[in-house]
Amino acid sequence: MRRLLVWRGLEEWLAEAAEVRLEGDRLEARGTQLGAEPHAYRADYELTTTAGWVTERLRVEVRDRDGERRLDLRRGADGGWSANGHARPELEGALDCDLAFSPLTNTMPTLRERLRDGEGPVDLETAWVALPGLEIHCSAQRYEPVDGRTVRYVSRDSDFRAELELDEDGLVLRYPRLAERI
């Protein structure tokens, strides 16, 4: 299944478009995210997962007033992460990437953990990628099933939480305070 998805920001100006392919238990996506002032940027990304919806690679190229930056984030078969060819042992245990401001990267844990089917809740770590700076850190997160169309995201690093509304394929329709699909 291949779809073109477009989100708009809810509380800040933000836009994201992604061509997403879901096939079996794998995801491939190419997208562009635009952010506005005070720090306007354009981020182009490619995301692939292995079987079981586990992040394999996230490539991001950012352009902003400070120039261009690139990130090639990979999760190896041994579970180890690297960024631009350098090992990132602090990300050990993370199965997913989480691209800042992107509703798309909530798809992998939602589908893998069968949260729409009432499985869970699940605590996990992600390789969180900041935009526009491309800094990476480990982010502790929790996903809780609410019903067949809603999953609650809870940051274990802060007091942030949101009930994510999903479509029939498990892709985010609405992420309160962040974005909604148009």
Q: What's the pLDDT tens digit per position in 52-74?
A: 999 999 999 999 999 999 999 99
Mean confidence (pLDDT) of the chain: 95
Q: Which residues, listed in sequence order, are joined to residue 86 by a DSSP beta bridge?
A: 83
Q: What pLDDT is attached to residue 21? A: 98
Give the pLDDT confidence of 101-143 residue by residue, as tens digits. Answer: 999 999 999 999 999 888 889 999 999 999 999 999 999 999 9
Q: Is the pTM of this model over 0.85?
A: yes
Pairing relation of β-strands 179-181 and 2-9?
antiparallel
Q: Please report the beta strands in 67-121, taking only residues with DSSP state E, as ranges in sequence order.
A: 67-75, 81-83, 86-87, 96-99
* Sign of CA pseudo-dihedral 35, 37, 42, 47: negative
What are the boundaries of each domain within the chain? Answer: 2-181
pLDDT value of residue 39: 85
pLDDT > 90? residue 38: no
> Residue 89 pLDDT more than 90?
yes
Reply yes or no on whether the pLDDT at 10 is more than 80.
Answer: yes
Terminal-residue alpha carbon distance, the chain: 19
Closest by CA position to 32, among listed 19, 21, 43: 43
Decide: 31 and 104 in contact? Cβ < 8 Å. yes
Residue pair 166/173 in contact by the 8 Å Cβ criterion: yes
